[in-house]
Amino acid sequence: MPSFVKNPKDFLAGLIFIGVAAIFGYGILELPVGSAFRMGPGYFPMILAGMLGVLGAVIMFNGIRFEGEQIQNFAWRGLVNIVLPVVFFGATLKGLGFVLSLTLTIFFTSIASSKFKLWVSLLNVAVLVFFGWLIFIWGLNLPISLWGPWIGGY
Amino acid sequence: MDMNVFSNLALGFGQALTLANLLYCFLGVFLGTIVGVLPGLGPIATIAMLLPITFQLPPTSSLIMLAGIYYGAQYGGSTTAILINVPGESSSVVTAIDGYKLARQGRAGFALFTAAVGSFFAGTISTFLIAGFAPPLAAVALSFGPAEYFSLMVLGLAASVSLAHGSLIKAVAMVVLGLLLGTIGQDLYTGTPRFNFNMTDLSDGLEFVALVMGLFGIGEIVRNLEDEHERSVLAQKVASLIPSWAEFKTTIAPILRGTALGSVLGILPGGGAMLASFAAYSMEKRLAKDPSRFGKGAIEGVAGPESANNSGAQTSFIPMLTLGIPSNPVMALMIGAMIIQGIVPGPNVVTEKPELFWGLIASMWVGNIMLLILNLPLIGMWVKFLTVPYHVLFPGIMAVCCIGVYSVSNNPFDVYTMAFFGVVGYVMVKLDCEPAPLILGFVIGKMLEEYLRRAMLLSRGDPFVFFQRPISAGLLLLAIAALTIVLIPSVSKKREEAFKE
């Protein structure tokens, strides 16, 4: 973080808001804006993106002017170990099928905890896969195959 | 209030007392109690996780169950607050102050009894308040034009922002961000695709369930994993639950005051259970003859807030049911659930779906009886739940989130959306930006735009229409007042104290 930033939380938050406003601003370029009388698809988002940009700038400016706390113990490991299994689940559910995809997802997730124990995690997998099957597939009839085409299912 | 209320309530009880709805109500309050007991799992995340399941249910049953989770959590949260000084819910934070002290003095039974009875009384009164006040309010709202609706929604957003904790400007920015995310997808009038950035999966907009589960489910797990420490459960023997008459008498006035205060604060946009309990605690402290008893085991400090949080939780349904305006994130989820069921939230719900409206209200009272039974005799069972360590719990939460979000439309893209907003939710919280206002903005966004465009079309592009119509002008002035009051130094200091206390 550059030294002129006194409050990194505000500075970064402001920067993110400005960034999002810019992305939406880019999207508005290809939308008809219309007039205040007959607003086009781009009118309302244009107001919002403008507001967000201004608010972001003020928040960022506050981060330069006023003293504030540092960002503390950002859980990189937790974030990666939680979010990657979610993506894995999305990517493999159709291919591997319910049982294997969920098993691996839960197993990978349990590693995120500093209190990871192999047998607890395996037991957890067994219980969750069973109840997941019971509630969602048997109970709610979700169209998810138990064994996917990647491992010879259908 | 007229005799109609009673015939309407009869209709409602007819709905609520069917075997299926009793079952869903029980399921809701049961889950709510568990959620209330478990720290690190709140009603927002739970309702979000259950949204996909409720798609399969009839609308009335699904709303009955989801509502049960919310007010059930208010009961459960107090149990752990009293017994082990761990508030399961943010609305029970103040209960822990005096409730835990009482438990240490061996009077846990008394505190638990007071909390349950206070909650039950408050729940009963506020059920009747909803029955009495909601229909007239809906009737007034029926005369609203697009300008009034627009201003009403702005007021709702402004009030919820001013009552949120943390920085005001960041909360406003989060609302605007939510509104902006809500514009992704097809334009309502022209069908023009907006902001899909060449991803076909975005052409119908962001999936609400994925957004909520990401922000509150996945983001919350990461936050809880930051510092894992074992919860030590001091298994207190709960001696006698029923207090003496002399003891009971001291709780009557605080319960009445808490119920009244909670009912009023619940109706306000931005209000709800948490605000009600904080306000009730400071009111009891101020009214007490000997305020120094507070913090050392004053029963008023349990009776007042516990009654207030339950009545606040229930009366916050009034603006949601009559105006279609969420006063807090849980109500935003309820509106989301209604939309998914094909019901247009707003004043028409009372007249067009009376069985849903009155069934939901009647179920709240039924649910409160169930909670009384669930909580008092079965208290030992709930304490057992606390011994489930988080590292065993969170893979389950994850699994339900993953399968649930996928099941909405059998589309892996929703799972990726959830993962993305999990990251967003965690990062924003680390930057002191609360995700709750974002959800409110997202839910209201489409309606807000529609009313804005309609109002401007009717006024031929004159933006002063919002100030020329008296009701609309009044609502907007209130919105401005709500935002500026917070900025007044003395108030903003009070606000910070209130949230810290």
Average pLDDT of the segment spanning B294-307: 88
CB contact residues (below 8 A), chain B span 394-423, against chain A: 394-396, 398-404, 406-407, 410, 412-416, 418-419, 422-423
Of B173, B227, B390, the CB nearest to A52: B173
Q: Does B356 have pLDDT greater than 50?
A: yes
Task: Report the chain B residue with the minimal C-alpha distance to residue A72.
Answer: B430
Contact A124 B402 (CB under 8 A): no
Task: Report the chain A residue with the minimal C-alpha distance to residue B53.
Answer: A140
Task: Report the chain B residue with the minimal C-alpha distance to residue A63.
Answer: B431
Q: Does B490 have pLDDT greater than 60?
A: no
Contact B415 A86 (CB under 8 A): yes
Contact A49 B180 (CB under 8 A): yes
Residues of B in contact with A71 (CB under 8 A): 430-431
Please give the structure tokens belonging to residue A85: 């299994």
pLDDT digit string (tens) for chain A, length 154 residues: 777 888 999 999 999 999 999 999 999 998 888 888 888 899 999 999 999 999 999 999 999 998 888 888 888 888 998 999 999 999 999 999 999 999 999 999 988 787 888 888 899 899 999 998 888 888 778 888 888 888 877 6
Which has more confidence, B166 or B61?
B61
Contact B227 A144 (CB under 8 A): no
Residues of A in contact with B460 (CB under 8 A): 37
Q: Give the Cα separation of B218 and B168 in Å (integer).
A: 25
Contact A136 B407 (CB under 8 A): yes
Q: What is the DSSP letter of B213?
A: I
- 3-state SS of B54-76? HCCCCHHHHHHHHHHHHHHHHHH
Residue B240: per-residue pLDDT: 64
Confidence of residue B409 (pLDDT cuts 50, 70, 90): confident
Of B177, B190, B433, the CB nearest to A52: B177
Residue A9: per-residue pLDDT: 92
Nearest to B213 by CA among B439, B499, B373, B482: B439
Average pLDDT of the segment spanning B455-465: 88
CB contact residues (below 8 A), chain B span 41-100, against chain A: 53, 56
Residue B230: per-residue pLDDT: 53
Average pLDDT of the segment spanning B259-275: 80
Contact A71 B173 (CB under 8 A): no
Q: Give the Cα separation of A11 and A6 in Å (integer).
A: 8
Q: Does B315 have pLDDT greater than 60?
A: yes
Nearest to B469 by CA among B150, B138, B154: B150
Task: Report the chain A residue with the minimal C-alpha distance to residue B417.
Answer: A87
Q: Does B273 have pLDDT greater than 90?
A: no
Average pLDDT of the segment spanning B311-317: 87
Residues of B in contact with A94 (CB under 8 A): 412
Contact A36 B463 (CB under 8 A): yes
Q: Give the Cα separation of A154 and A95 in Å (integer).
A: 9
DSSP characters over B406-438:
HHHHT-HHHHHHHHHHHHHHHHHHHTT--SHHH
Residue B257: per-residue pLDDT: 93
- Mutation to test the A interface, candidates B183, B228, B407, most A Cβ within 10 Å: B183
Average pLDDT of the segment spanning B477-482: 88
Contact A82 B422 (CB under 8 A): yes
Residue B267: per-residue pLDDT: 80
Please give the structure tokens belonging to residue A72: 């503390």
Q: Does B433 have pLDDT greater than 50?
A: yes
- 3-state SS of chain A? CCCCCCCHHHHHHHHHHHHHHHHHHHHHCCCCCECCCCECCCHHHHHHHHHHHHHHHHHHHHHHHCCCCCCCCCCHHHHHHHHHHHHHHHHHHHHHCHHHHHHHHHHHHHCCCCCCCHHHHHHHHHHHHHHHHHHHHHHCCCCCCCCCHHHCCC
- Mutation to test the B interface, candidates A31, A71, A113, most B Cβ within 10 Å: A113
Residue B491: per-residue pLDDT: 60
Confidence of residue B3 (pLDDT cuts 50, 70, 90): low
Q: Does B195 have pLDDT greater than 80?
A: yes
User: What percentage of chain B reaches a pLDDT higher than 90?
Assistant: 23
Average pLDDT score, chain B: 84
Confidence of residue B224 (pLDDT cuts 50, 70, 90): confident
pTM for the model stands at 0.86
Residues B13-72: pLDDT tens digits? 998 999 999 999 999 999 888 888 776 677 888 888 888 888 888 999 999 999 998 888
Task: Find the helix or strand (DSSP H, E) in which B193 lies.
Answer: strand B193-194
Are B189 and B453 in contact, with CB atoms under 8 Å apart? yes
Average pLDDT of the segment spanning B449-478: 90
**Minimal CA separation from B402 to chain A, in Å:** 7
Which has the minimum average pLDDT: A54-58, B52-56, B112-116, B489-493?
Answer: B489-493
Residues of B in contact with A56 (CB under 8 A): 173
Residues B232-258: pLDDT tens digits? 555 555 656 677 788 888 888 999 999
Residue B248: per-residue pLDDT: 83
Residue B21: per-residue pLDDT: 93
Of A35, A40, A120, the CB nearest to B392: A120
- Mutation to test the A interface, candidates B177, B203, B215, most A Cβ within 10 Å: B177
Residues B169-193: pLDDT tens digits? 999 999 999 999 999 998 888 888 8
Q: Give the Cα separation of B74 and B118 in Å (integer).
A: 11
**Minimal CA separation from A4 to chain B, in Å:** 18
| ipTM surpassing 0.85 | yes
Of B222, B395, B456, the CB nearest to A128: B395
Q: Does B423 have pLDDT greater than 60?
A: yes
Backbone angles phi, psi at B22, to 5 degrees: -60, -40
Task: Find the helix or strand (DSSP H, E) in which B186 lies.
Answer: strand B185-186
Q: Does B434 have pLDDT greater than 90?
A: no
Average pLDDT of the segment spanning B272-280: 81
Contact B422 A132 (CB under 8 A): no
